[in-house]
Amino acid sequence: MLNLILFGPPGSGKGTQANKLVEKYSLLHISTGDLFRYNMKNDTPLGIEAKSYIEKGDLVPDSVTINMLKAKVNENPDVAGYIFDGFPRTIAQAEALDNFLKEKGQNVSGLLALDVPDEELIKRLLERGKDSGRKDDQDKSIIANRIEVYNKETAPVFDFYKKQKRADKVLGVGSIENIFERLCSMIFWM
């Protein structure tokens, strides 16, 4: 199985690239952000709980997020692999994912981190906010908080996998096609 973590700050293009990778490698795309938004739209208890964190640009607590992720994987056992997009975002989530996959006789094949400068992230997020209606993409202070949370809580996840020689950076600027080719050439070696 190919179990790929597509990593990077908000606005680095994870969702866009995940959609292309899914087609090429027939993987299941699991975006925890999309799962939360689906639950928020449908006013489920999970959505109501997540909303207060997401609106501020804070992380939803680990236990809630990890259980949601596990349920999604368990609902879809017969796939060629998974692309985890927006997960893991903390060391606790990374450890939980490793243990969870290990119990299934699987592992994380690798983590690819899209590298994009902060100014470009802010520009992209504000642009996306105009069309998507996502409130967390429309407010500069919420965007700044998301980037700060990424640097403080999520960036260490890269080092966690780097120590295990399972993480690499990929330049996330340029055309969508060029970035996609860079990702595919890294996946070739996994």
Residues that bind ligand AMP (CB under 6 A): 10, 32-33, 36, 53-54, 57-60, 65, 86-87, 89, 93, 136, 146
Min CB(37)–ligand AMP separation in Å: 7
Rounded Cα distance, 120 and 47, in Å: 30
CA atoms within 13 A on the CB side of 79: 20
Q: What count of other Cβ atoms lies within 10 Å of the Cβ of residue 118?
A: 14
| Residue 12 DSSP one-character state | S
Min CB(104)–ligand AMP separation in Å: 19
Min CB(152)–ligand AMP separation in Å: 13
Which of 87, 180 has the CB closer to ligand AMP?
87
Min CB(189)–ligand AMP separation in Å: 26
Which of 53, 160 has the CB closer to ligand AMP?
53
Burial class (CB in 10 A: 0-12, 13-18, 19+), 28: middle
Which of 67, 185 has the CB closer to ligand AMP?
67
Min CB(154)–ligand AMP separation in Å: 8
Contacts 24+ apart (CB under 8 A), 161-168: 161/5, 161/94, 161/108, 161/110, 161/111, 166/108, 166/109, 166/110, 166/111, 167/7, 167/110, 167/111, 167/112, 167/113, 168/110, 168/111, 168/112, 168/113
